[in-house]
Structure 1
Amino acid sequence: MSAAATKVATDPRPLTGRAWAVVVTLLLGVLTLAGCAGGNSVTTATPTQWISASSKPGVVVVDVRTPQEYAAGHVKDAINVDVESPDFATRIAGLDKATSYAVYCQSGRRSALATKAMQDAGFTSITNLKGGIGDLAAAGAPIVS
């Protein structure tokens, strides 16, 4: 080892403010990358992309609107889990986190809330509709009541 390298490696002086800023920035970068590699995946999809994703084998379609909205018309084979219900967290806790889910609502606001809650709960594959059920109907999704 050179004398300069030895001096740097054994220098007992504390880190300066700038050095701490570099260390903190590097740690935040590592933590961000680790979070991205965690496997939790939410994809926001257009109606056409969402229909394609929801049609894949094994994908569970989740309508997060109220039971009344669901009864008035929903995507064929969708399950209803009202995101604004007090038991939403309990209901999603009963779902398989390893299954793929396609989530929608009336306009996109509630499905965004639901997919965030599902991601936070450890779900690993979620497709969130950008838009709402009206957009799905216009794109040709099968709507039943």
Structure 2
Amino acid sequence: MGLLDPNHKDSSQPKTVILDVRETPEHATGRIPTSLPIPRGVLEGTVDSIGLDRSTPLVIYCAGGFRSVLAAETLQRMGFTRVQSLRGGMKAWREAGGPVTQGTGQE
């Protein structure tokens, strides 16, 4: 599992899927655009329902970087092969000036 630095701006992988593993109330405080909200507590039972190929590049984030590491490890155990955790989570993303959108992502 890799740790993606929030200052890393690589657009060479447009098919990367970003998963927000924060809890539902946290999603309303802002999220990374195009991220899919799947709270860590329901990840195992939910991720297959979105139909991802096990080789899809995934970037996982939470508020501070801890839950996303656990989620990334879980996804690897489930057979996903290209998983990264966003180092420092949403906090680091904001501090690095990354784009943030409002809404839950479930609109």
Assess if the C-alpha contact under 8 Å between 1:54 and 1:102 holds in 2.
no
Q: How many residues align?
A: 100
Answering whether residue 43 of structure 2 is matched by residue 111 of structure 1, we say no
Assess if the C-alpha contact under 8 Å between 1:53 and 1:102 holds in 2.
no
- Cα distance change, pair 54–112 in 1 and its aligned pair in 2 (3 A): farther
Query: CA-atom RMSD, angstroms?
Result: 1.6
TM-superposed deviation, 1:56: 2.7
Q: Distance in 2 between matches of 1:64 and 1:55?
A: 24
Q: Which has the larger helix fraction?
A: 1
Assess if the C-alpha contact under 8 Å between 1:75 and 1:143 holds in 2.
yes
What amino acid is the match of 1:43?
G
Match of 1:89 among 38, 44, 53: 44
TM-score (norm 2): 0.84
Question: Which residue matches 1:128?
Answer: 85
Question: Which residue matches 1:76?
Answer: 33
Describe the SS at the equivalent of 1:84. helix
What amino acid is the match of 1:142?
P
TM-superposed deviation, 1:119: 0.2
Q: Distance in 2 between matches of 1:98 and 1:134?
A: 28
After the TM superposition, list the runs of 4 or more consecutive aligned residues in structure 1 that deviate by more than 6 angstroms.
none
Structure whose CA Rg is larger: 1
Whose RCO is larger (CA < 8 A, sep 6+)? Answer: 2
Assess if the C-alpha contact under 8 Å between 1:60 and 1:99 holds in 2.
yes
5+ residue gaps, structure 1? 1-41
TM-score (norm 1): 0.64
Assess if the C-alpha contact under 8 Å between 1:62 and 1:101 holds in 2.
yes
